[in-house]
A and B are shown apart, each in its own frame.
Chain A
Amino acid sequence: MSVLEVTGLEVRYGDLTAVDGVALSLAEGETLAVLGANGAGKSTLLAALAGTHLPTSGTVLLDGEPVTRLPAHRRVRRGIVLVPEGRRIFGSLTVEENLLMGRFPKRAGPWHLRAVYDMFPLVAEMKDRRGSVLSGGQQQAVAIGRALLANPRVLLLDEVSLGLAPTVVTQLYDAVRRITAEGTTVLVVEQDLDQALRVADRVQCLLGGRTVLEAQAAGLDRDTVADAYFGITRGSRTDPTEA
């Protein structure tokens, strides 16, 4: 059974339909990358999965249980944990206090403070600094660590690379690779195709709120993805399964 099963999801902002009938499914331990250009509906999709913006129709099942109408704070307790766009670090809390907020839902699991510090040694060094003084990359590491401490059933990562230097992004995705290697089920939303392909098992490309491409990540032709990005039809929906 899928850990996360989404069918017919439609999300609106007023008159604008940002996500228009998206379906997706995440198997245990799998990593899915949702790709697409600005405004393709990626972040809105994550907001609907995390419960920060409720969908107008469709269903979201977590381990077969519907969570579609559950508000964000109750969804986290069930294990859907979002690392939000823009990091959203608590500025007046110390780094360690930020991380400990991940323990608020009191979910049992393999992740604890020590494991997060081992994964991000730089974060450990800054544990007594306030969140507001961190650099973008440090904030992103803290945001990921904070989410891990909630021991997610599904970890949602929104635009990890946004506004960060390429070397920092590579380091962060090294960490994401280790997280997925631990068996955590992950959904990544990303504009940076190379980084997404480094961690993903499967890729789903959105355009105008709809799925235009679903494919295995291994051996995926970059041009195919790029076409899907910009809506160039060249016999799309090709499915280059295992190379």
Chain B
Amino acid sequence: MDWLNAGVQGVLLGGQYALLACGLSLIFGVMRIVNLAHGVLAVLAAYLSLVLVEQGLPLWLAVVVVVPVFAALGYAVQRGLFNPALAQVGGGARGGSGGGSRGAGELAPLLVSFGVAVALTNLLQVVFSADTRKIPTGGLASAGLPLGDLSVGVLPLITLAVAVAVIAAVQLFLARTATGRAMRAVADDAGAAAMMGVDPKHMYAVATALAFATLALAGVFVGMSTQFSSGYGDLVLLFAFEAVIIGGLGSLWGTLAGGVVLGLAQTIGAQIDPQSGVLAGHLVFLAVLVVRPGGLMPRSVPA
């Protein structure tokens, strides 16, 4: 029974990781940037929602405000910071598939995102102190549904449902809409996409806006379920990154699977030894890297 419980809790936890990882996966898939500010931005979204809730806004309204604000922030960050950094990457103008010569600026986008992460973490510490906080949910976070002999948390269940819905929606957007198709074309070959009338800089910014929107949503769910502080972004980034790598870089359904695998590893690991849950997650991550470096569901076509 305990093992079954660990399994169920693991899948639910995986939902949170998948939701966190979705934006990271999207940004990497479209423009090959590992956004190191991903974690701290999710924490920023959590703080922002907390502030709004403390001002008397209902939580749902806080989410409705924070998510579009983050989408706009994502668009601005891409146009203002990441696009100039990408321009320094050799062959950037020709897009990812050019191969061949790479300039010295290959690391520029990564370093810019690192700079944002460091500065923002410190800013959060100055503004909100290092105390741990939690978004009040009016009992939602502790509510449980009886399922046979098990008790399933309502909030984790909602988180998992939202994660699946978000990933399905992003996947549908990419697969079925003209803009989504153009986004995949830009990921394949930005220069060729420009020749078909797509502005790669704008398309990158749209992708980042979308990624930031999902990240904000994820941040709010983290803030509801966990005690977080200004430095919590590191852990968020780590788990999101592990979920993305386990699932396969650039594949959104892979990211969902990766999140669930990581969640299961952590809860089952904790069932074996209560101190070792997180360690078990890291070990599974390491094992996947060794056995299947491309992840469980790698992109069928290297872009």
Contact = CB atoms under 8 A, between A and B. Distances in A.
Contacts of A200: none
A130 B192 CA distance: 16
B300 A103 contact: no
Contacts of A77: 197
A104 B196 contact: yes
A225 interface: no
Contacts of A132: 301
Contacts of B191: 52, 72, 88
Nearest to B187: A92
B197 A90 contact: no
Given A92-B299, A92-B300, A92-B301, A105 B184 contact: no
Interface string A63-89: 000000001111011000110100011
Interface string A148-164: 00100000000000000
Contacts of A130: 300-301
A72 B195 contact: yes
A90 B191 CA distance: 11
A71 B202 CA distance: 13
B196 A71 contact: no
Contact of B192 (A71, A88, A100, A150): A88
A76 B196 contact: yes
B184 A92 contact: yes
A177 B240 CA distance: 54
Contacts of B196: 73, 76, 101-102, 104-105, 146, 150
A104 B178 contact: yes
Contact count band on B: 20 to 34
Given A90-B184, A90-B185, A90-B188, A104 B197 contact: yes
Given A93-B181, A100-B181, A104-B182, A73 B199 contact: yes
Contact count band on A: 20 to 34
Contacts of A72: 191, 194-195
A82 B195 CA distance: 7
A110 interface: no
A90 B192 contact: yes
B141 interface: no
B177 to A, nearest CB: 11
Nearest to A133: B301
A97 interface: yes
Given A97-B181, A100-B178, A100-B181, A92 B197 contact: no
Contacts of A141: none
Residue picked from A52, A73, A132, most chain B C-beta under 10 Å: A73
A35 interface: no
B97 interface: yes
Closest 8 CB pairs of A and B: A105-B197, A88-B192, A92-B301, A76-B197, A90-B188, A72-B194, A73-B194, A101-B196
21 contacts: A71-B194, A71-B199, A73-B197, A73-B200, A74-B197, A76-B195, A76-B196, A77-B197, A81-B195, A89-B192, A90-B184, A91-B303, A92-B188, A93-B184, A97-B184, A100-B178, A101-B198, A104-B196, A104-B198, A105-B196, A131-B188
Interface of B: 97, 178, 181-182, 184-185, 187-189, 191-200, 299-301, 303
Interface of A: 50, 52, 71-74, 76-77, 81-82, 84, 88-93, 97, 100-105, 130-132, 146, 150
Given A73-B199, A82-B195, 8 more contacts: A73-B197, A74-B199, A84-B192, A90-B189, A92-B301, A97-B184, A101-B182, A101-B185
